[in-house]
A and B are shown apart, each in its own frame.
Chain A
Amino acid sequence: MNLLLATLLLPLIGFFVLLLTPRDSKAPFGVALLTTLVTFIASLGLIAPAAENGAQFRSAYDALWVDAPGLQIHFHVGVDGLSLWLVLLTTLLLPIAVWVSQTMITERHKSFYAFLLLFEFGIIGVFTALDLFVFYVFWEVALVPMYLMVGGWGGRRSGPAAVKFFVYTFLGSAFMLSAILYLRSQAGTFDYLEIMSRLNAGQFVLSPTQQLWIFLGFFAAFAVKVPIFPFHTWLPNAYTEAATPATFVLAAAMSKMGTYGLIRYCLTLTSAGAHRCASWVVVLAIIGIIYGALIALIQPNIKRLIAYSSVSHLGFVVLGIFSFSHQGADGAVYQMIAHGLSTGALFLLVGYLEQRRGSLEIGDFGGVATPAPGLATAFMIALLAAIGLPLLCNFIGEFLVLQGAALTRFSWAAWAAVGVILSAAYMFWMYQRTFLGKTNERTASFVDLSTRDWVPLLPLIVLMVWLGVYTQSFMPPITSATSHILDQTNMNNQYQVKLVLPAAGKLTELAHAH
């Protein structure tokens, strides 16, 4: 059995099994937890093959799926150094989400677990798809359960927030679908690797203008998903209004779909378009970094503050990608994982705060560290990771991103580094007003974290330190994948300069051959 296929299908199988369980019992929780844990264990098996050579797709599975006249679609999935840790991040986060949903979700548990499993199926598919059609299908499969989770549970205004989230992202992906279809009409296949090899062999060429439009199509979907300024206004509402386990997977896992797409597809398929747009995308990224941080500075709500901080942190990822430097790309991938861990942990802790206080307005807190030192300590560790303290995960990502940006253009790094100052300011001000100071009548009786609360936090904390101290466990596959991608970017970018639309004959030839 192909391990990747197992990792991918287990959540789907779990989903169907879960549907058969009785509604008001422990069974749905048991099934969901077991499924996600087994999926996580299965996904661990992906490490060894992908670590051998991060530039290649390992554990690949390729089956002809649709074989209609003139339309072949392969169900083609594989894992390389870029997708490896994203898949593992996802499979790690999902059992945690299931675990905390047990207490943080108060009604209709069964449906929530079902959507979580379906979401896992979708997002693992997104990270591993090697066929653009398959990619698109998974992209939507991941979106829908997420929408239902945001809208179905959570605060009073979660409905409108979910609608905005859905419409916005769906609109973005419509552009992507057009780009994919157009690309197929040019390349003759949906298969990503096939397209790349045809591009590299010069069997077909996309003119700079074509590349620009395809790039923009993909970019629309990815920019909304990340989100890149100014496409971010769905995020504060969705993050804040959603139930915390939903926010957790939304922020920690789903936001990586956009940045993953940018590296995987925009940089390689449409390298000329990416190069052409890099200057303004970088400007948007830097605006996002500073803008998100400035707005976080004055947020009166903890969850919304962390939501805006996410806009800022993900700006670093985009900056790294579009710096077209090796350090920038490595940093961007590392930052994706780091952000998943640190922001994930922060949202979990926010959930614990909400459970205890019934509110997330900073003004309702104060002095929490006195009755709940464990909670305060865990929050401090996640916070320090988030603001990029060395020896914790985010530092590596931010350092490499800024270093890469500085190598490409020094002023980019200088502007983006302002976000590092601001991150300390908004986080510490929030921490001071929430955890320090004197207790009020409501926070005085706070209960500290129980063992059950610590269980999902500990793996995240261990990984934050591990990723910050010993990067050699994680970096080699990433770095070989990114160098491969950057090679392709540069090669294709040169191609389009040299060649001018030949090979129209070859294309028809290919079409006939099928």
Chain B
Amino acid sequence: MNLWLIPFFPLIGFFLNGLLGRRLSKPLVNLIAVGSVAASFVCVLVVLSKLWPIDNTYTEHYFTWIQSGFLQIGFDQMLDRLTAVMLLIVTGVGLIIHIYSIGYMAHEGGYYRFFSYLNLFMFFMLLLVLAANLLVVFVGWEGVGLCSYLLVGFYFREDWATNAGNKAFIVNRVGDFGFSLGIFLAVATFHTLDFGKMAAALQGMPAEVGFGALTLIALLLFVGATGKSAQIPLYVWLPDAMAGPTPVSALIHAATMVTAGVYMIARMSFLYNHAPAASEVVAVIGVATAVFAATIGLTQNDIKKVYAYSTISQLGYMFLGVGVGAYSTGIFHLMTHAFFKALLFLGAGSVIHGLGGEQDLRHMGGLRKAMPITFVTLLCGSLSISGFPGFAGFFSKDSILLAAYGHAPWMFWVGAITAGMTAFYVFRAFFLAFFGTYRGHHHPHESPAVMTLPLVVLALLATFGGFINIPEFLSRSYPLGYQENVGRMAISAGFGILGILLAYVMYVAKPALADTVKNAFGAVYTLIFNKYYIDEIYQAAIVKPLEGISRFVLWHGVDEGVIDFGMVNGMAHLVRGWGSLFRRMQSGSIRNYATWVLAGSLLVIFVLGLVGGGR
């Protein structure tokens, strides 16, 4: 078995397109980019069929990566059922999005560059998912962050794109600061970073009461997750990351990379099970992010921003799931979210493509006739995310909410209300785009088959994907964690349907109502519309002071003033007053002096050499 082949193919694709792509024809670039991902998808299928039913963890050791003292870190990969789910999502959805990109990027410059970055992303993401120890996870973790930076800033001539890329990378580095400290503390605690060995060390031990090393490790790792998976307080980079081409938003900033934090916690479940205080924090941050981001989503006019805030919100649900100990529900939602959110983004991309780059919902409307396939598929996606009974999102969201109810009923209620808000803003966007009359100036047209076909496939997955029973599939490693309860399922589904109806009334039946409501809320609306001014607060409280202190206090003040002028030059002046030797040095004849030192040293060497040799 060769697990390494799975990430290897996209890596080859990256090198081929990256080094030679400029000279290759577009079909050849496509073949390399899509072919490499298809190859790794096939590879995943072959590996899974050989290992089926994957009752045990399968590990492969390639080489020792780092060896220092007691610390040994191998370049190891492993596969269990959790990995299997992730591999299928990453390569499957990744393949669909690669195909879609052929159409979407057809008229863009830097075509080969786009695809080589996308392949590199696949490599790092697959590395992350397959890693058998925490440090190799970190390799993938940082690597996908790099690709995110490169692809968010893909339109690198534009400041809005490069600013967003920088923000994505730097905010993630803040998270990774926590992640790396978690790794250091894990090494100090376990003397290894292998998942299997760490889990074995904790086997049979009681859960940690209060705040100890395990809780601290779990919290530090979660800091990393709040960066990568855009949770409070580090979510701020994700909305800006929409500056990247839309397939990137679908693949990296919806379906795969941003879910890495959820995956990491599920992978480290043995640790979080032993650190209930940390798990509680995960759950609370998750549910808080879910409702917080949903409120911002209510007011956005850029279709991609709406979906971006909804991604943050949905990731919050996933953290709620893993935080209350129902890890499989988090992974379940991770999968259905990958389907319906990739679909929503690709559908939005199809709309943007059909409107010549228009992203503002206020300049859309009535598109259902011009873009029927996009219309129907986006309807499936919107119903799925709204938790409409029978659609994929319904099953996964309800499993999380049921698990949350078992943990703390208030979390269920907040989650259910958020589900209503989600349904409202997603359908607000849907109705604004496809109903009413067209308010823009382009000639809307349906996208080519290379784009609509992926939409259809994803629509099928977003509709029926809920019948893939992930909690059941993972039940060997992760206990179910919730009980079916028809009443509560009805409540959360009811909130969703209510949200859809409300959106219909406000944006289709009585369009004037929307403005009335907006005006009625006045200041609150302004606050939410401006995203609670969080970016401005961070800028004023962190970035500006840091710049000011660095420039005026540290550089001009301490470095040039106190140390250099005050101490160093002051000392020199003092010395100059003392002796003629130093006066001569300062007055420019130092080069002679240096030459004398050199000549003297060499002379000493030779004389001594002669003396030595003469013995």
Q: State the A residues within 8 Å of B (CB).
A: 63-68, 73, 75, 118, 137, 140-141, 144-145, 147-148, 151-152, 159, 162-164, 166-168, 230, 233-234, 236, 291, 294-295, 297-299, 325-327, 330-331, 367, 369-370, 384, 389-391, 396, 399-400, 402-403, 406-407, 410, 413-414, 417-418, 420-421, 424-425, 428-429, 432, 435-438, 469-472, 475-476, 479, 483
Contacts and interface: CB of A to CB of B under 8 A. Distances in A.
B177 A407 contact: no
Contacts of A479: 67-69
A398 B405 CA distance: 44
Given A67-B612, A298-B555, 10 more contacts: A297-B547, A298-B551, A330-B68, A400-B68, A407-B187, A410-B188, A420-B180, A429-B166, A437-B156, A471-B65
Contacts of B567: 230
Given A75-B612, A414-B181, A483-B69, A233 B598 contact: no
B332 interface: no
A475 B184 contact: no
5 contacts: A391-B139, A407-B187, A414-B181, A424-B170, A471-B66
A163 B598 CA distance: 15
A450 to B, nearest CB: 17
B200 interface: no
Contacts of A291: 554, 558
Q: Mostly helix, strand, loop or mixed at chain B's interface?
A: helix
Interface string B518-554: 0000000000000000000000000000110111001
B63 A472 contact: yes
A166 B590 contact: yes
Of A148, A163, A475, chain B has the most CB atoms within 10 Å of the CB of A163
A402 B180 contact: yes
A199 to B, nearest CB: 24
B63 A470 contact: yes
A141 to B, nearest CB: 5
B122 to A, nearest CB: 15
Q: Mostly helix, strand, loop or mixed at chain A's interface?
A: helix
B604 interface: yes
| CB-CB nearest 4 A-B residue pairs | A326-B69, A406-B184, A233-B564, A65-B612
Contacts of B184: 402-403, 406-407, 410, 413
A294 B549 contact: yes
Contacts of A145: 598
B188 A406 contact: yes
B586 interface: yes
A491 to B, nearest CB: 17
A63 B69 CA distance: 36
How many residues of B sit at the interface, in one of the four size bands? 35 or more
B441 interface: no
Contacts of B173: 420-421, 424-425
B590 A297 contact: no
Contacts of A64: 612, 615
Contacts of B594: 144, 147-148, 166
B146 A297 contact: no
Contact of B177 (A421, A472, A476): A421
Interface string B584-615: 01101011001101100110110011011001
Nearest to A233: B564
B76 interface: no
A409 to B, nearest CB: 11
B69 to A, nearest CB: 3
Of B157, B547, B586, chain A has the most CB atoms within 10 Å of the CB of B157
Contact of A437 (B69, B157, B604): B157
A279 to B, nearest CB: 19
A466 to B, nearest CB: 13
Interface in B398-413: none
A166 B598 CA distance: 13
B343 to A, nearest CB: 32
Given A396-B66, A421-B173, A298 B608 contact: no
Contacts of A65: 608-609, 611-612
A148 B490 CA distance: 82
Contacts of B71: 327, 403
Contact of B585 (A167, A367, A413, A476): A167
A369 B612 contact: no
Interface in B115-151: 135, 138-139, 142-143, 146, 149
A189 B158 CA distance: 66
B69 A330 contact: yes
B185 interface: yes
Contacts of B547: 297-298
Contact of B180 (A295, A417, A436): A417
Given A65-B612, A410-B185, A425-B170, A140 B68 contact: no
Contacts of A425: 170, 173
B568 interface: yes
Given A65-B608, A140-B601, A147-B594, A327 B69 contact: yes
B69 A66 contact: no
Nearest to B585: A167
B64 interface: yes
Interface string B160-186: 001101100110011011001101110
Contacts of B157: 367, 370, 436-438
A500 B170 CA distance: 54
B449 interface: no
B166 A67 contact: no
Contacts of A299: 555
Nearest to A15: B602
A145 B183 CA distance: 45
Contacts of B549: 294
A144 B568 contact: no
A427 to B, nearest CB: 10
A64 B174 CA distance: 57
B233 to A, nearest CB: 15
A167 B612 contact: no
B597 A140 contact: yes
A233 B559 contact: yes
B7 interface: no
Nearest to A234: B568
Contact of B68 (A168, A327, A428): A327
